[in-house]
Amino acid sequence: MSAPLSVYLVEDQPRLQAQIIKLLSVMEGVEVVGCASTGEEAVEALPGVAPRVALLDLELPGIDGLEVLTQVRPALPETVFLILTTFDDEEKVYEAIQRGASGYLVKRIAPQRLESAIHEAAEGGVVIEGRIARRFWNYFQSVQGHPPQLDTRGLSEVEIEVLEYLARGLSNAEVGEIMAIDRRRVRTHLGHIYAKLEVSSHVEAVVAALRLGIVSL
């Protein structure tokens, strides 16, 4: 049996914090390893805990969730950050993901959806709450470029194919299944893609590829 996913919660509202911890505690394959009520607490604690998944509120007393991401993300390359907040606009989504978040969930999310989102993100997927996904993908389309001369930045045909699947919102596991390769190979391709496009996440890679006209929606 595989080890449970360690989850750390950053949420400043005591009642909601308790509710979310209660939900997490009964989820299969999930272990709560700590929580923080302020951005400063999170910045101090997260590097030492190094959870697999961190659920992070954006509206926090003191430094906000975006600043928490900026400060701790470089020290936690294996941690998946999921934003859990009341913000529901695509600009906030994109800003959070630019700073290293792997997904964006609106508070009061159904318990089953939260559970699946945690596992999906841990497996390499990008999780966007349904109510804002359409607007977010519309934002993607707004940055889509049509340069006069295609610049692939040295990406191979296979790497471009991986990017095309990412642009459709598929997870690493789903990409591997379609391309008949294992997830480790998908991660290897992603590493090459990130280096060539000078980015650090799925979403940044897709946005860069859209702007360069390498992929389209």
Tokens linked to 81: 């950050």
Domain boundary among 137, 159, 178: 137
pLDDT of residue 170: 74
Q: How far apart are CA 122 and CA 124, in angstroms?
A: 5
Phi, psi of 37 (to 5 degrees): -110, -10
Domain check: are 40 and 97 in the same one? Answer: yes
Domain check: are 190 and 130 in the same one? Answer: no
Q: How far apart are CA 100 and CA 29, in angstroms?
A: 24
Determine contact, residues 82/127, Cβ cutoff 8 Å. Answer: yes
Residue 173 located in a structural domain: yes
Distances (CA, A) of 119 to 82, 144, 170: 11, 30, 14
Residue 206 located in a structural domain: yes
Alpha helix ranges (H) inside the chain: 14-25, 39-49, 65-72, 90-98, 111-122, 130-142, 157-167, 172-179, 183-197, 202-212
Q: CATH number of the domain that 166 lies in?
A: 1.10.10.10
Domain boundary among 137, 161, 181: 137
Domain check: are 133 and 165 in the same one? Answer: no
175-185 burial, b if ≥16 CB within 10 A, otherwise e?
bbeeeeeebeb
Domain check: are 127 and 163 in the same one? Answer: no
Q: Which domain holds residue 190?
A: 145-212
Determine contact, residues 7/119, Cβ cutoff 8 Å. Answer: no
pLDDT of residue 87: 66
Residue 77 located in a structural domain: yes
Residue 133 located in a structural domain: yes
Residue 56 located in a structural domain: yes
Residue 36 located in a structural domain: yes
Determine contact, residues 116/181, Cβ cutoff 8 Å. Answer: no
Domain boundary among 115, 137, 159: 137
pLDDT of residue 28: 87
Residue 122 located in a structural domain: yes
Residues of the chain with pLDDT under 50: none
Residue 176 located in a structural domain: yes
pLDDT of residue 131: 61
Q: What is the pLDDT of residues 60-119, one digit of tens each?
A: 888 988 899 989 988 998 899 998 877 666 667 777 777 778 888 888 778 888 888 898
pLDDT of residue 142: 64
Tell me the sheet residues that pair with 127.
Answer: 103
Domain check: are 106 and 14 in the same one? Answer: yes
pLDDT of residue 108: 77
Domain check: are 22 and 128 in the same one? Answer: yes
Determine contact, residues 128/201, Cβ cutoff 8 Å. Answer: no
Domain check: are 133 and 149 in the same one? Answer: no
Residues 6+ away with beta carbon under 8 Å from 15: none
Domain check: are 57 and 112 in the same one? Answer: yes
Q: CATH number of the domain that 127 lies in?
A: 3.40.50.2300
Domain check: are 14 and 120 in the same one? Answer: yes
Closest by Cα among 141, 128, 125 to 209: 141
pLDDT of residue 1: 57
Domain check: are 157 and 117 in the same one? Answer: no
Domain check: are 163 and 74 in the same one? Answer: no
Domain count, the chain: 2
Determine contact, residues 27/34, Cβ cutoff 8 Å. Answer: no
Domain check: are 37 and 124 in the same one? Answer: yes
Phi, psi of 50 (to 5 degrees): 50, 60
pLDDT of residue 133: 59
